[in-house]
């Protein structure tokens, strides 16, 4: 019995590992998230992978964070490449990205490339609106209820 439980746990862990790894590599920055929230989300995914014995190296995590940044961070990527390898840590990256985000907010000019980048990565609100629109088109008799429900949910 004990061996069956161990075997079953191992199979579930492998399946969870594969699922979490896929989620980690498919993740894109949410347009509603700050850079800090984005980094924390990826770190949380790395911690989940570590808990199922599929740890992600710090270097892989850094690469994933950099790959998922919007186009307005292109110049940051070039600057990061000039940082000595020994200084390319998560803590250093986080501090520099937060500073870069604050600078961008100070200037207040949206990069048109970011608009296109985030258009291909809709926020949760946009996704909910698309789902509600799809449901109302599929069942016109219920469309009023969906609109009323969404208004009540967003009013909270």
Residue 154 domain-assigned? yes
112 contacts: CB under 8 Å, gap ≥ 6: none
> Once rounded to an integer, what is the mean pLDDT over residues 90-110?
87
- 91 lies in the same domain as 47: yes
> Once rounded to an integer, what is the mean pLDDT over residues 113-135?
54
113 contacts: CB under 8 Å, gap ≥ 6: 70, 71, 72
- 21 lies in the same domain as 84: yes
Each residue's pLDDT tens digit, 15-37: 788 888 999 999 988 888 899 99
Residue 95 domain-assigned? yes
Judge whether residue 90 has pLDDT over 70.
Answer: yes
Q: How far is CA 39 from CA 4, 19, 63, in A?
A: 39, 20, 11
- 145 lies in the same domain as 100: no
- pLDDT in the model for residue 83: 95
- 59 lies in the same domain as 129: no
Give the range of the structural domain holding residue 143, as residue numbers without chain letter. Answer: 122-156
- 61 lies in the same domain as 104: yes
Residue 153: which pLDDT band, with cuts at 50, 70 and 90? very low
- pLDDT in the model for residue 145: 43
Judge whether residue 102 has pLDDT over 70.
Answer: yes
147 contacts: CB under 8 Å, gap ≥ 6: 132, 136
């Amino acid at each position: 019995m004990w061996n069956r439980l161990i075997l079953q746990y191992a199979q579930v862990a492998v399946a969870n590992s594969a699922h979490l790894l896929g989620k980690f590599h498919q993740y894109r920055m949410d347009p509603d998230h700050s850079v800090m929230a984005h980094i924390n989300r990826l770190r949380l995914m790395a911690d989940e992978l570590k808990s199922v014995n599929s740890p992600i190296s710090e270097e892989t995590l850094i690469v994933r964070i950099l790959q998922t940044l919007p186009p307005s961070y292109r110049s940051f990527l070039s600057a990061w490449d000039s940082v000595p390898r020994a200084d390319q840590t998560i803590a250093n990256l986080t501090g520099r990205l937060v500073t870069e985000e604050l600078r961008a907010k100070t200037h207040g000019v949206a990069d048109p490339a970011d608009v296109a980048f985030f258009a291909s990565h809709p926020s949760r609100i946009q996704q909910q609106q698309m789902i509600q629109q799809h449901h109302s088109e599929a069942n016109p008799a219920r469309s009023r209820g969906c609109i009323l429900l969404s208004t009540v949910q967003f009013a909270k």
